Amino acid sequence: MTKIEKMGEKAKSAGRVLMTSPTLVRNKALDMIAGALLDKKADILAANAADLAEAEKNSMGTAMLDRLRLSEARIEEMARGVKAVAAEEDPIGKVIEGTVRPNGLQILKTRVPLGVVGVIFESRPNVTSDVAALCLKSANAVILRGGKEAFSSNSALTKIMREAVACAGLPEDCVQLIEDTSRESAKEMMCLKSLDLLIPRGGKGLINAVVENAKVPVIETGAGNCHMYIDAAADFGKAVELVFNAKTSRPSVCNAIETLLVHETAAQDVLPAIADRLLEKSVEIRGCEKTRLLLPGALPATDEDYATEFNDYILAVKIVASPTQAAEHIAQYTSGHSECIVTEDYETARWFTKTVDAAAVYVNASTRFTDGGEFGLGAEIGISTGKLHARGPMGIEALTSTKYVVFGNGQIRE
Amino acid sequence: MTKIEKMGEKAKSAGRVLMTSPTLVRNKALDMIAGALLDKKADILAANAADLAEAEKNSMGTAMLDRLRLSEARIEEMARGVKAVAAEEDPIGKVIEGTVRPNGLQILKTRVPLGVVGVIFESRPNVTSDVAALCLKSANAVILRGGKEAFSSNSALTKIMREAVACAGLPEDCVQLIEDTSRESAKEMMCLKSLDLLIPRGGKGLINAVVENAKVPVIETGAGNCHMYIDAAADFGKAVELVFNAKTSRPSVCNAIETLLVHETAAQDVLPAIADRLLEKSVEIRGCEKTRLLLPGALPATDEDYATEFNDYILAVKIVASPTQAAEHIAQYTSGHSECIVTEDYETARWFTKTVDAAAVYVNASTRFTDGGEFGLGAEIGISTGKLHARGPMGIEALTSTKYVVFGNGQIRE
């Protein structure tokens, strides 16, 4: 048995204890984790400083460094996040449906944990406590495999969380961190039979590697090639602000838009205003031929551009002849995350929401709202772009399964 | 593009039409299929006769031949099955949850089809119409890949269904059958990017091949290594009849039991009575050492026996010292399908339903009830032994996903 396989077995045992643990005990563990994060800020910051020193030695970019960096304020935020998860409703044990069959069998569909959840993530150490908290709340053991850059920080956080979990009377193996941060350990996780679910959180490379190699159940998260379509019947004032918000409020995240589609009868009036507004944030526009006639400063857009999640201050633009053409472009390029139409036309709005196939389809609102908190689901473990099990922001319930419990008094089947 | 990839593209187009098709049109297609199956009985029976002739030439066993054989009565049953699916409620478009956020966004969680469903199945041709009906009802295009033995029957059935679907005004490519019944075509399906879901329906070999090779989302179905545990506090009269029913009423199916666990204080009183009852059906018993002291006619059971889904008149038996030991044995060997305790003790019954991790956990009832019809879910497309998306009998709803539809009036995210 490899080291990771042994961790899998330990997680299964811990998961069995969690499965029947009362809500109070799991909430106590979360409260103790939150307390310990605050009490041991100094240890966490020291470990994080080691990661930062190493990162600077390896000339990590400032954006990446910023994601890696913890501070007292960030640790306090992590502790608040754990407390918020503790305060959420416990889904485990709920009876979702129940019936009595004509033969007297009582059949209850109940909510149960998955068992063991694996999460592969990249450099943000706050993910470590977020993910562990969501898994504990939903009574799942978790195996974490963070990025190499954050290894010291993740180790310190995991040590603190394991101690807290043990203090609450649960097995410390409810939370485990894989020490090997090589590609091989990620690959091994993708085939680790003891995992009931593997969630990759990261860039396209990671997601693709998981789809290619995984032999355990997987939920893909986060790839966001999102579109906004400005219809002929759009309110242009709204359109300008919606594009500006969806593109520039945080270009690095998955719910930002990458391509703007504009109806040809609207283009002349709205595109120059949009370009002006985007100029405030120095957004680079890559447009189709018709776009470039209206916006001479725009670069030419390639098919590759339409397929790309820029995660940057870049926007591809295409002028289309109809809502149908917009929907066809979206069907071809969407990653199934978030798609938006800007229109004041009732039928076109309804048609778009029915026709476009994505986790979230918007009318006249920024795609940036696709988020567990914004949707009122509480903390999220990721945003599923798959269609099975969970779609869109995944809260605690996405970490559960169901079990039929059947009570009889000797019923046999004829 | 290979032939199967082209079928995938056609299915995607057909799926987009289905996605926005009214319930009435899909129900009409189902009614026309049911009518056409009855009108064209002669064609179906002729095609089936060709399969049967080929099967006899290849010395197929009588049980397999029986599964392959259609008759007027079986075709009528297939038509009734399609009509029953038409009569079920349409899940598509339902609003599951809805909320208005403080910023005025109205967020609706709606039920939508998956898109394209692939099903790999073995020799029973009635599966062809069942599966197609469930997929059409749930607005999914379906790609069928049946067994070689039933190819003529499946071709005739698919032709009839495609014509009926077209008559109802839907694309005939809503239902497609893969003509290549080689292993390669199954493997190609496992990696066919246009599939939103692949369901393998068949033996352990097929399921394992799918888990090993699939790069598309999969729901595993049907593997059933099910247990019944007779507790010290069992009603022995009930116990004898429950074991007899769960083992012998249809040993070839996944919800039959394979291993019987008996508490040591109950064994002496109940095991001989069980063995006598099972003798009526010539069930072979393979027991642990303690079992063989009580039942001298029993063969010795190996670990391999405990891991095997016999699908036959064979029962493995093990005497255990406690409910905990029973649960541990189950945790080690279960395929997560159906597990049962026979007991009159309140706390033990509750403990067992919480501790045992399976799609269906029974108290004092035969495991044979794990079935869409028996659970009141209507027709089923399979029984999921996985924990993601669907668990246990899968009805129409298991063939759907969700989509968030968000209505705003210009909301942007701060």
**Residue B393 belongs to what H/E stretch?**
strand B392-394
Q: Do B387 and A197 touch (CB under 8 A)?
A: yes
Residues of A in contact with B241 (CB under 8 A): 410, 412
* Contact call for residues B128 and B146 (beta carbons, < 8 A): yes
- A57: Cβ–Cβ under 8 A, 6 or more apart, which residues? none
Tell me, yes or no, whether A216 and A230 share the same domain. no
What is the per-residue burial (b if ≥16 Cβ within 10 Å, else e) of A202-231? beeebbebbbeebebbbbbbbbbbbbbbbb
Residues of A in contact with B394 (CB under 8 A): none
Q: Is B121 on the interface with A (CB under 8 A)?
A: no
Q: Do B412 and A386 touch (CB under 8 A)?
A: no
Residues of A in contact with B402 (CB under 8 A): 391-392
Tell me, yes or no, whether B215 and B236 share the same domain. no
**Given this model, what pLDDT does residue B202 score?**
81
Is A374 within a domain? Answer: no
**Given this model, what pLDDT does residue B124 score?**
85
In tens, the pLDDT along B251-309 reads 988 999 999 999 999 999 999 999 999 999 999 999 999 999 999 999 999 999 999 99
Nearest residue of chain B to residue A92 (CA atoms): B354
**Given this model, what pLDDT does residue B137 score?**
98
Tell me, yes or no, whether A204 and A323 share the same domain. no
Tell me, yes or no, whether A10 and A76 share the same domain. yes
- pTM exceeding the 0.80 threshold for the entire prediction: yes
CATH code for the domain in which residue B339 is found:
3.40.309.10
Strands in B245-391 per DSSP E = 257-263, 284-287, 299-300, 314-320, 338-342, 360-365, 382-384
Residues of A in contact with B211 (CB under 8 A): 215
CATH code for the domain in which residue A193 is found:
3.40.605.10
Select from A207, A404, A407, A414 the residue whose CB has the most chain B CBs within 10 Å, as the one to mutate to test that interface: A404
Q: What percent of chain A has pLDDT over 70?
A: 100
Q: How large is the average pLDDT for residues A176-197?
A: 95
CA distance B46 to chain A (A): 33
Q: Do B366 and A404 touch (CB under 8 A)?
A: no
Tell me, yes or no, whether B300 and B345 share the same domain. yes
Q: Chain B window 46-105: which residues touch A at a Cβ cutoff of 8 Å?
A: 99, 101, 105
Taking 80 as the threshold, does the pLDDT of residue B337 lie above it?
A: yes
Q: Which residues pair with residue A117 across a beta bridge?
A: A142, A197
In tens, the pLDDT along B17-75 reads 999 999 999 999 999 999 999 999 999 999 999 999 999 999 988 878 888 999 999 99
C-alpha to C-alpha distance for B28 and B137, rounded to whole angstroms: 10
ipTM attached to this prediction = 0.94
**Given this model, what pLDDT does residue B146 score?**
94
Residues of B in contact with A245 (CB under 8 A): 412-413
- A208: Cβ–Cβ under 8 A, 6 or more apart, which residues? none
Taking 80 as the threshold, does the pLDDT of residue A345 lie above it?
A: yes
Is B379 within a domain? Answer: no
Triad A408, A409, A413: Cα angle to 5°: 70
Please give the tally of structural domains in chain A: 2
Q: Is A241 on the interface with B (CB under 8 A)?
A: yes
Q: Is B406 on the interface with A (CB under 8 A)?
A: yes
In tens, the pLDDT along A35-61 reads 999 999 999 999 999 999 999 999 988
C-alpha to C-alpha distance for A174 and A86, rounded to whole angstroms: 16
Nearest 5°: phi and psi at B184?
Answer: -60, -40
In tens, the pLDDT along B149-195 reads 999 999 999 999 999 999 999 999 999 999 999 999 999 999 999 99
Q: Do A105 and B391 touch (CB under 8 A)?
A: no
CA distance A404 to chain B (A): 4
Is A249 within a domain? Answer: yes
Nearest residue of chain A to residue B355 (CA atoms): A20
Is B128 within a domain? Answer: yes
User: In this complex, which of B99, B357, B412 lies closest to A242 when CB atoms are compared?
Assistant: B412
Is B377 within a domain? Answer: no
Tell me, yes or no, whether B238 and B211 share the same domain. no
CA distance A240 to chain B (A): 10
**Given this model, what pLDDT does residue B60 score?**
87
In tens, the pLDDT along A290-332 reads 999 999 999 999 999 999 999 999 999 999 999 999 999 999 9
Residues of A in contact with B99 (CB under 8 A): 376
Tell me, yes or no, whether A62 and A175 share the same domain. yes
Select from A207, A243, A387, A389 the residue whose CB has the most chain B CBs within 10 Å, as the one to mutate to test that interface: A387
Is A379 within a domain? Answer: no
**Residue B401 belongs to what H/E stretch?**
strand B400-411
**Given this model, what pLDDT does residue B379 score?**
84
Tell me, yes or no, whether A86 and A186 share the same domain. yes
Tell me, yes or no, whether B161 and B307 share the same domain. no
Q: pLDDT grade, residue B208 (50/70/90)?
A: confident
Nearest residue of chain A to residue B399 (CA atoms): A388
Q: pLDDT grade, residue B211 (50/70/90)?
A: confident
B93 three-state secondary structure: coil
CA distance B70 to chain A (A): 23
Select from B330, B406, B409 the residue whose CB has the most chain A CBs within 10 Å, as the one to mutate to test that interface: B406
Which segment of A374-388, B4-18, B313-327 scores lowest on mean pLDDT? Answer: A374-388
**Given this model, what pLDDT does residue B66 score?**
87
Is B102 within a domain? Answer: yes
User: In this complex, which of B20, B107, B238 lies closest to A410 when CB atoms are compared?
Assistant: B238
Tell me, yes or no, whether A143 and A260 share the same domain. no
Is A231 within a domain? Answer: yes
What separation in angstroms does the CA of B56 have from each of B36, B50, B62, B69, B183? 28, 10, 9, 11, 22
**Given this model, what pLDDT does residue A122 score?**
83
Q: Is A17 on the interface with B (CB under 8 A)?
A: no
Residues of B in contact with A355 (CB under 8 A): 16, 19-20
Q: What percent of chain A has pLDDT over 90?
A: 90
Tell me, yes or no, whether B117 and B94 share the same domain. yes
Query: Which structural domain, as residue segments, surrounds residue B118?
Result: 3-220+386-407
Tell me, yes or no, whether A164 and A310 share the same domain. no
Q: pLDDT grade, residue B378 (50/70/90)?
A: confident
CA distance A248 to chain B (A): 11
For the CA atoms of B72, B76, B78, B79, what is the dihedral angle to 10 degrees?
A: 140
Taking 80 as the threshold, does the pLDDT of residue A239 lie above it?
A: yes
Taking 90 as the threshold, does the pLDDT of residue A334 lie above it?
A: yes
Q: Is B208 on the interface with A (CB under 8 A)?
A: no
Residues of B in contact with A411 (CB under 8 A): 364-366, 369
